[in-house]
Amino acid sequence: MEDLPAHDSWKQWFQSHGPKLLLCARQWTRSAADAEDIVQDAFVRFWRRQRHLPGEPMALLVTSVRRAALDRARGDDRRVRREDFAFAGDREAFAEFASGLEADERRLALEEALGRLPPEQREVLVLKIWAELTFEQIGRELGLSPNTAASRYRYALAALRQELTAADCHG
């Protein structure tokens, strides 16, 4: 990861790394719009207040994105419970991923397979692939040993490979 510039070239840095952050955020949010909002908020907060902190910039940003997504999910869950109580089931279900019109069949199969992974495996996979964190960084982020993070990553890849291979054979 290159060093962050000391001046205001945040646009260039965001263009380079924003898509990875968005992919990460998408795994912790219910919609693409929520993921975009969370990435934007986390990036602005990072650039204004945290970019001079010691540590790997991408790891700091992923931590910020993850916390913002989890906070939003908790807030959404509270709101949904209030609405359910007030309107007794008058709410539509949220879509887990983007509509089928926006994606090809293979991506949808992968998203569905990701959604079926145990959360602890999915989280490690996202941090490793999309955030490009090391197992040591993932371990620090999640409070795990690097070996545990690596094991969860291997299990996630094996499960995805098995499920997607089975889907290819049946589809």
Q: Where along the chain do its domains lie? A: 1-96, 100-171
Q: How far apart are CA 25 and CA 37, in angstroms?
A: 9
CATH 3.40.50.300 assigned to 100-171: no
The angle formed by the CA atoms of residues 59, 16 and 148, to the nearest 5 degrees, is 30
CATH for 1-96 is 1.10.1740
Q: Which residue has the higher pLDDT, 69 or 104?
A: 69
Q: How far apart are CA 94 and CA 140, in angstroms?
A: 32
- Assigned token pair, 56: 């790997």
Given this model, what pLDDT does residue 168 score?
Answer: 61
Given this model, what pLDDT does residue 85 score?
Answer: 56
pLDDT digits (tens, 9 = 90+) for 27-43: 888 888 888 999 888 88
Distances (CA, A) of 112 to 19, 93, 164: 20, 17, 10
Q: How far apart are CA 56 and CA 96, in angstroms?
A: 30
pTM of the model: 0.50
